[in-house]
Structure 1
Amino acid sequence: MDTITHTLFGLGIYGAINKEHLSKKEKRVLLFTTIGASQIPDIDVISQLWDTDGRYQMWHRGITHSIFLTPIWALLFYLISWLLFAFKSKTIFFTALIAVIIHNTSDVFNAWGTGYLEPFSTARLTFGTIPIIDFVIWFVFIMVFLLSRKKKEQRVKIYRVGWALIALHIFLQSAQGYMLYHKYDQSYEQVALSASFVPWNFSVIAKSGNQVSIIDETIFTEGRIKEVLTSSDDANLDQLFSKNPRAKTLYEWAPFVVVVEDDQTYGIYDPRFYRNGQSFLFEYMENGKIDR
């Protein structure tokens, strides 16, 4: 998910906690914990500073987003609370744990995916049933915030209802995505999903042979083929990987890729992010630089 959504998750966790018996200081520490722990897995962005081998695509949302690392992040916030704020409470640990789990798990639901099972598996776990920026989640939190200001005595209850609505939204989206995935899974060799910004609308990316179809779908309408892409699967990618290491990383990272080999370009791209004639995840080299 995007940074704004993760921040909203942190504020939502804070709002859903009963703070009636907490002091102002304890409330500040709790707020710091909920927002900080909701953001901490994305600390991996700093790995760009020392990436000399084109591995950032794998490092981002990699080990820092592992479900097995969540207790370590929670312990970090527990220690910060104790050492910097002189507030020692198991509540901080478990609140941070929940915040990190929500961050890591929510990222699994969009097309980018995460290294959720690292270091035991390098596979990117991705469902593709929730867009990276989900305006439904934004809308729910905005309404919860506005309503809780008017009915302060019911603030905790309102935030908890908001969380229930978000969980219902994710369930409905994912259930529909599951049905669409299995609708095409029997007819194509490989299938991936990418959720639209419009609720209940999906792009189904289906590959058979060297043909990749991008299909606009909902469970209520007949699928419409938006694009048919041809992949040069017979191309030898070794030279591309040698001259552009990011291409090799993308090849490992994506469920499947489209290979481009023409007079101008030699490269690969992830068709899940194909919009307006191109994918923003495209690694290539000029074809004239290939040794024939």
Structure 2
Amino acid sequence: MDSLTQIILGAAVGEAVLGRKIGNKAMLYGAIAGTIPDLDIISSYFTDTVSALEIHRGFTHSIFFSALFAPIIGWLVSKYEKYKSFKNWTWLFFWCLVTHPILDAHTTWGTQLFWPLDYRLAFRTIFVIDPLYTVPFLTFLLLALFQKRTAPKRRFYNNVGLIISSSYLLLTFGLKAMAYNQFEMALKKQQIDYVELETKPSPFNTVLWSANVSTKEQYLIGYYSFFDENPIQFEAYPKNHELLGDLIHKEKVQQMIRVSKGWYSITEEKDRLYYNDLRFGLLSLQPKAQNFVFKYEIKVDDLGQVTFVETVKNREDAKQLLKDLWMRIKGN
């Protein structure tokens, strides 16, 4: 999830664990702990694009990391804070660290919660930014913040925020199941043979859902809103995996394929090859659009070494996407 949401979650969890004893400092330390797992983005400054993608939401987003570093941070904080309980500080940091990847597991990218096992948990039930999750959560956290440390209302407001946000997360599983069922029925009615079907919410909401459908020769992308009245339409995108040629055997190409879980297409533009990660969809709802959210130019140097360079996103595309989303959410 986005940094603001993780800060809010960390602050609320910190308050739930230690708010009665140390007041607003519980929220402060919780908010700090809620951002620590995302420090793995530093890896992008020390390694190549593909390796950085593979590292992201790996070790620092695992239960192992939380269990290892919670007592270390807890011990350090207990040494200089007036409140000296090493045990309670450790519990605060453990829960604030571990709830971060648990929340991230609901997104499309997912997390390696069980690192070092090579398994990325991704429920794909919520977009990385979802106001319906974040805004109510923030509202009740602020209400709690301005109450006295021992006031019953403080704990009440914080608990309400945690309950509402958690309930919304649970609701998204039901919404995903309903959308998945609609896509399945549409594929059956249209007599489309497919190998795999994945669904995810579109940006900023859980009303409009998108589907990636893998067939033998191409991918299909479709959208479904709970307000739709007309049948689901699918747009076809050729896989074009053959365009890679001998590059398919290169280590970095294989690594990128693992990162994208095999959901990728290759496009050729002006004698340049581009790798499109289909898991995160397009920056446009227009038919036949090719501007994927994660699109990388494949470059090969004189020594045959392969690198991936992410293409620059156009702000105008993002603005247009927001307009299109608003219209499409209301139904087809």
Which residue does the alignment assign to 2:58? 62
1:109-124 to structure 2, matched below 5 A, reads 109-121=106-118, 123-124=119-120
Identity %: 20
Which of 208, 219, 225 matches 1:212? 219
Relative CO higher for 1 or 2, CA cutoff 8 Å, sep ≥ 6?
1
1:56-95 to structure 2, matched below 5 A, reads 56-85=52-81, 87-95=84-92
Instruction: Specify whether residues 220 and 88 from structure 1 end up closer, same or farther in structure 2 by C-alpha distance, changes over 3 A only.
Output: same
CA distance in 2: counterparts of 1:237 and 1:99, whole angstroms = 46
Instruction: Specify whether residues 163 and 266 from structure 1 end up closer, same or farther in structure 2 by C-alpha distance, changes over 3 A only.
Output: same
Please state how far the C-alpha of 1:28 moved relative to its aligned partner.
6.1
Which residue does the alignment assign to 1:14? 14
Alignment check: 8 A CA contact 1:231 1:259 kept: yes
The SS at the match of 2:135 is: helix
* CA deviation profile, 1:217-247 (whole Å, cap 9, x unmatched): 24564663363211113334542775x94x5
Alignment check: 8 A CA contact 2:19 2:27 kept: no
Which of 218, 224, 229 matches 2:232? 224
1:84-163 to structure 2, matched below 5 A, reads 84-85=80-81, 87-121=84-118, 123-148=119-144, 153=151, 154-163=153-162
Please state how far the C-alpha of 1:190 moved relative to its aligned partner.
1.8
Q: Does 1:188 align with 2:194?
A: yes
Which residue does the alignment assign to 1:165? 164
* CA deviation profile, 1:247-280 (whole Å, cap 9, x unmatched): 5443111131112246533232112332223113
Alignment check: 8 A CA contact 2:75 2:86 kept: no
TM-score w.r.t. structure 1 length? Answer: 0.83
Alignment check: 8 A CA contact 1:191 1:204 kept: yes
The SS at the match of 2:194 is: coil
Alignment check: 8 A CA contact 1:109 1:126 kept: yes
Instruction: Specify whether residues 72 and 132 from structure 1 end up closer, same or farther in structure 2 by C-alpha distance, changes over 3 A only.
Output: same
Which of 281, 285, 298 matches 1:273? 281
Alignment check: 8 A CA contact 2:137 2:164 kept: no
* CA deviation profile, 1:28-49 (whole Å, cap 9, x unmatched): 6534431222111111111122
CA distance in 2: counterparts of 1:232 and 1:31, whole angstroms = 50
The SS at the match of 1:55 is: helix
Alignment check: 8 A CA contact 2:41 2:56 kept: yes
Quick one: which amino acid aligns to residue 267 of structure 1?
A: Y
Alignment check: 8 A CA contact 1:265 1:285 kept: yes
Instruction: For structure 1, list consecutive stretches of 5 or more residues without a partner in the other structure.
Output: none
TM-score w.r.t. structure 2 length? Answer: 0.74
Q: Number of residues paired by the alignment?
A: 282
1:256-271 to structure 2, matched below 5 A, reads 256-261=263-268, 264-271=271-278
CA distance in 2: counterparts of 1:207 and 1:49, whole angstroms = 34
Which of 26, 44, 50 matches 2:46? 50
Which stretch of structure 1 is more off in the superposition, 106-115 or 247-256?
247-256
Alignment check: 8 A CA contact 2:110 2:122 kept: yes
Which of 233, 244, 262 matches 2:241? 233
* CA deviation profile, 1:30-71 (whole Å, cap 9, x unmatched): 344312221111111111222047410001111111223220
Which residue does the alignment assign to 1:199? 206
CA distance in 2: counterparts of 1:28 and 1:147, whole angstroms = 12
Please state how far the C-alpha of 1:177 moved relative to its aligned partner.
1.2
* CA deviation profile, 1:55-97 (whole Å, cap 9, x unmatched): 1000111111122322012122212213343623312111211
